Amino acid sequence: MTAIDFELNLKSVRVDTEPDMPLLWVLRDQLGLTGTKYGCGRGLCGCCTVHIDGEAVRSCMVPAQNVAGRRVVTIEHLGADPTHPVVQAWLTQNVAQCGYCQSGQIMTAAALLAHHPQPTDEDVDLAMTGVLCRCGTYPRIRSAIHLAAQLQQSPAHR
């Protein structure tokens, strides 16, 4: 076991864990943050996406030791802000169907918009490639991302 210190959702945390345990399991099993979902365990589906230092990352592929001293943000933080443009857009566009993939979709969309505030359809498609939705809500996802881009440009969100 190793003590690993990092910032999680704007708070300093320390976990005692095996250094090679995937971050996904540290978040879910050790810290009780179950919004980050297990999908495939191979980094292929995107359900486990979190932000590490502002980048969208598949947490099932990141050993816990790799987040030492870094900033991790999960859906619990982003989703708790009803004024966040992506959260507002997701609700407005009624994106979720079964909802299982939505935390990964939202976290990936938020990272995209942080780097590309006015994405084209091509930017959206490229960023969201590999974030799978079994319900097929891809048109609503794209629409919500464009709406979120508009919302974050409004004076209320600056």
**Structural domain 2-78, CATH architecture:** Roll (3.10)
The model's pLDDT over 22-71, given as tens digits with 9 standing for 90+, comes to: 999 999 999 999 999 999 999 999 999 999 999 999 999 999 999 999 99
pTM, two decimals, is: 0.94
The model's pLDDT over 69-87, given as tens digits with 9 standing for 90+, comes to: 999 999 999 999 999 999 9
Per-residue pLDDT at 155: 74
Instruction: Judge if 2-78 and 85-157 fold alike in CATH terms.
Output: no
Does domain 85-157 fall under CATH 1.20.120.1200? My reply is no
CA distance 16 to 1: 6
Domain ranges of the chain: 2-78, 85-157
Residue 20, class by beta-carbon neighbours within 10 Å (0-12 exposed, 13-18 middle, 19+ buried)? exposed
